[in-house]
Amino acid sequence: MAIIRDMIPAFELVQPTTVEDALAAMARYGEGGWVLAGGLDSYDWFKDRIKRPEAVIDLGGINELKGISNGQDGLEIGAMTTLTEIVRHERVRSEYILLADAAEHVATPQIRNQGTLGGNISQDTRCWYYRSGWACYRAGGNTCYAAAPQAMNREHAIMGTSRCVAVSPSDTAPALVALDAKMIVRGRRSSKVHDAEDFFIGPATDITRMTVLESGDLLTQINIPGEWANAHFYYEKVRDRGSWDFQLVSVAAAFKTSGNTIDEARIVVNGVAPFPVRLDAVERLVTGVTADEALATEAGEIAIQGSRPLKYNEYKEPMMRNLVRRAVRSVA
Amino acid sequence: MGRWLDFESNPWGQEVLQGVSLELMYLAIGLAVLFVAGHWFWYRSRGFSEHEEPADVQGSVAGLPERIVRHTLPSRIFHWTMAASMLVLLITAFVPLLGLEFAWVTIHWIAGAVLILTIIYHVIHSIVWQDFWSMMSMGAKDFREGLGHFRHLLSSKSPEPEKPGKYPFDHRMYHWGIVVTSLAAIVTGVFMTLRIKTPFWEPNAYYPLVDQAVSGLNELGEPAITLQPGAATGLVFVLHGIAGVLLILMVASHIYFAIRPDKRWFTWSMIRGWIDREHYLAHFDPDKWSVGDGTIQENPPGGAIADSTVSAPRVDD
């Protein structure tokens, strides 16, 4: 394991007050620049000496990236909005409780006060082989240490892998995918809107990144469309310590219903793959069907089809199956 | 070295080879562009015709069909299948590195499997139904022939070179290059495919076979050479990477010559299967590439038999 030291190696600190200034600084430093949101993922990297950026671009002073406002359709959440603000926001709680639930499951109150929505969904994986600085695939090497026959891979992926078996650590990511959120990403020359589902990428696409964000890209805003407001939601996160831990498996689901009948569904599981997994087959199964125990059971079975556990994470299969079953059962 | 190869620390703190650096890919692309542009300008500056001149046929056409079979249907199917799989392999290998990202791994190994199957087919087909050595043999006389062509290309004052047999020297050299490079990419690629998820096996990133293949085994069945952990894997990655960037250069030059106006009749023969009698007499020595005694039909059928009739052993073997 890496040794966490108290002192962080020196770097240039850039504190822009506008998005344009931040983008200019990111362009100036290129790969040597590190974009800092809440800092809760970043400072671990720096203290471990695994990441040694030339410059840190602190977004904390950019007010336009903070806050929640009513958009033309739904909510517009600045990427630097803290998780506590999201948990406490009246409209989020009344119309999008799924997101508030997910945000409230992140770590501890202190961390939620400091941590941001943008940082939570952009954070890097917690695979300890990778975070210990070993030259694995994700770090630019040619091996996955976590996939080795004797590796400690209890927390790793059971599906969606391609050489790397690390999982997405974000609690809010599956909720945003379930809510069909749109991610606004600014570059120096252009702005792009990504569906939350496409924002997270797997190792088959790029083994060194977990999101579409490349050097020079800045996630500025997350839009939650009104389409899923006041839907029937279900969120559950299973973790080793109930007080404070990353998920082992979590489920975020949104259902449009007529009585007990599911008219439309978006069901997303995290902690089982390098990205939040949308369960298309389960959604097709439950759409237009009255929810009952039999449907919930079948949904759970379909959810884990195609999974390939590693040596020590076979338990994730029944855990995922049961979480999906509970999500569908919640409509009954 | 460090510029072209990537090294990282393994868990034991040793610097271990990881693969080729991205700069090598840019170098290969740059060299390919330079070669194509350089050749094009040089060709124009020397006043060579961009288009194939009408052949000045001196030889007898008696007994020769109008159309001379050059590539049978099975040969053409092999060529284009291999070409398609090779292009898919290169695109899936390098385009994501240039910024256009997509899930490339599955497409890449499937294209690799197709390439392996086509090559197995090609080897069997050429050994059983074709004159295998007409493309493979390279003797002193072949190099003299190639040198003569090269001199004539550089200076029009140098004597007219000898006409070749069915496969000119540069074609055979290119074939050898592709054979060696493709086999290097395939062998290393198979080892790399063992580490990824396929329907055929469980992925395993830790294969002692690679260490054993690289280092050999002593009489006790242990690796004969002690390698740093991960070094054999690094070597596999490096060889695969070098083969990949060489293939960029080779495929780029092949496509360039295939679409050049003065070489298109070669390309057409890979599509239609035949060349016309005038090109045959203008560019080939009938003694080295005998097309028989006129028994070839004007519209020859595809198939191995037709090919074997036009692939008589070269006289200089």
Instruction: Write down the pLDDT at residue A20.
Output: 96
Does residue A3 lie within any of the structural domains?
no
Per the rule left: phi > 0, alpha: psi between -120 and 50, beta: everything else, B225 is beta
Considering only CB atoms, A142 lies closest to which of B101, B202, B234, namely: B234
Q: How far is CA B299 from CA B62, B65, B69, B296, in A?
A: 18, 9, 9, 8
Burial readout B70-82 (b: 16 or more C-beta within 10 A, e: otherwise) = bbbebbbebeebb
- What is the pLDDT confidence band of residue B303, given thresholds at 50, 70 and 90? very low
Domain with B286 in it: 74-310
H helices of A152-247, in order, are 172-178, 196-199
Does residue A144 lie within any of the structural domains?
no
Chain A partners within 8 Å of B203 (Cβ): 147, 163
Is residue A215 less than 8 Å (CB to CB) from chain B?
A: no
Check B206 against A140: CB less than 8 A apart: no
pLDDT at residue B286 is higher than 90: no
Q: Structural domain tally of chain B? A: 1
Does residue A88 lie within any of the structural domains?
yes
Q: Are residues A51 and A70 in the same domain?
A: no
Does residue A247 lie within any of the structural domains?
yes
Q: Are residues A316 and A251 in the same domain?
A: yes
Q: Name residue, tokens 């029009």.
A: B156
Q: Which of A176, A207, A227 finishes a domain?
A: A227
Q: Complex ipTM, two decimals?
A: 0.74
Q: Which residue of B has its CA nearest to A132?
A: B11
Name beta bridge partners: B67.
B276
Does residue B12 lie within any of the structural domains?
no
- Pick the closest to residue A203 from A256, A157, A150, A258 (CA basis): A157
Domain with A250 in it: 232-329
What is the per-residue pLDDT across A118-149, written as a single tens digit (0 to 9) for each?
A: 999 999 999 999 998 888 999 988 889 898 87
Side chain identity at residue B12, one-letter code: W
Check A143 against B197: CB less than 8 A apart: no
Question: Considering chain B, what percentage of its residues have pLDDT values greater than 90?
Answer: 34
Instruction: Write down the pLDDT at residue B315.
Output: 36
The CATH number of residue B122's host domain is 1.20.950.20
Question: Considering chain A, what percentage of its residues have pLDDT values greater than 90?
Answer: 88
Q: How many CA atoms lie within 13 A of A266 on its CB side?
A: 19
Does residue B10 lie within any of the structural domains?
no
Residue A248 structure tokens: 């082992």
Chain B partners within 8 Å of A142 (Cβ): 18-19, 230, 233-234, 237
Determine the 3-state secondary structure of A290 from DSSP: strand
Instruction: Write down the pLDDT at residue B209.
Output: 62
Beta strand spans in chain A (E): 12-14, 33-36, 55-58, 68-70, 75-78, 182-186, 191-195, 218-224, 232-238, 249-258, 261-270, 277-278, 289-290
Q: Are residues A220 and A73 in the same domain?
A: yes
Considering only CB atoms, B205 lies closest to which of A143, A162, A206, namely: A143
> A52 near A96, Cβ under 8 Å?
no
Instruction: Write down the pLDDT at residue A30.
Output: 95
Does residue A33 lie within any of the structural domains?
yes
Question: CB burial class (10 A; 0-12, 13-18, 19+) of residue B11?
Answer: middle
Between A93-107, B31-45, B131-145, B295-309, the lowest mean confidence (pLDDT) is in B295-309
Instruction: Write down the pLDDT at residue B222.
Output: 65
Q: How far apart are CA A26 and CA A41, in angstroms?
A: 19
To the nearest whole Å, the CA of A113 is away from the closest chain B CA by 35
Q: Are residues A307 and A273 in the same domain?
A: yes
What is the per-residue pLDDT across B147-164, written as a single tens digit (0 to 9) for each?
A: 887 887 777 677 777 888
Between A92-106, A136-150, B114-128, B233-247, the lowest mean confidence (pLDDT) is in A136-150
Considering only CB atoms, A144 lies closest to which of B10, B102, B205, namely: B205
Give the count of Cβ contacts less than 8 A between chain A and B: 60
Is residue B228 less than 8 Å (CB to CB) from chain A?
A: no
The CATH number of residue A70's host domain is 3.30.465.10
- What is the pLDDT confidence band of residue A156, given thresholds at 50, 70 and 90? very high
Mean pLDDT along residues B311-315: 36
Considering only CB atoms, B105 lies closest to which of A145, A147, A204, namely: A204
B130: DSSP letter: S
Does residue B144 lie within any of the structural domains?
yes
Considering only CB atoms, B103 lies closest to which of A145, A163, A204, namely: A204
Strand arrangement, sheet containing A218-224: A68-70, A75-78, A218-224, A182-186, A191-195
Q: Structural domain tally of chain A? A: 3
The CATH number of residue A286's host domain is 3.30.390.50
Q: Are residues A210 and A237 in the same domain?
A: no
What is the per-residue pLDDT across B16-59, written as a single tens digit (0 to 9) for each?
A: 888 888 899 999 999 999 999 999 888 888 776 665 555 555 55
Q: Are residues A247 and A221 in the same domain?
A: no
Is residue B200 less than 8 Å (CB to CB) from chain A?
A: no
CA torsion through residues A248, A253, A259, A263, sign: negative
Residue A73 structure tokens: 């359709």
To the nearest whole Å, the CA of A147 is away from the closest chain B CA by 7
- What is the pLDDT confidence band of residue B8, given thresholds at 50, 70 and 90? confident
At CA B229, angle to CA B225 and CA B230, rounded to 5?
105
- Enumerate residues 6+ apart whose C-beta is below 8 A from A231: A98, A254, A255, A256, A257
Q: Are residues A250 and A201 in the same domain?
A: no
The CATH number of residue A34's host domain is 3.30.43.10
Q: Are residues A316 and A219 in the same domain?
A: no
Does residue A285 lie within any of the structural domains?
yes
To the nearest whole Å, the CA of A27 is away from the closest chain B CA by 17
To the nearest whole Å, the CA of A161 is away from the closest chain B CA by 8
Q: How far is CA A266 from CA A4, A170, A331, in A?
A: 40, 18, 13
Between A171-175, A246-250, B95-99, B308-312, the lowest mean confidence (pLDDT) is in B308-312
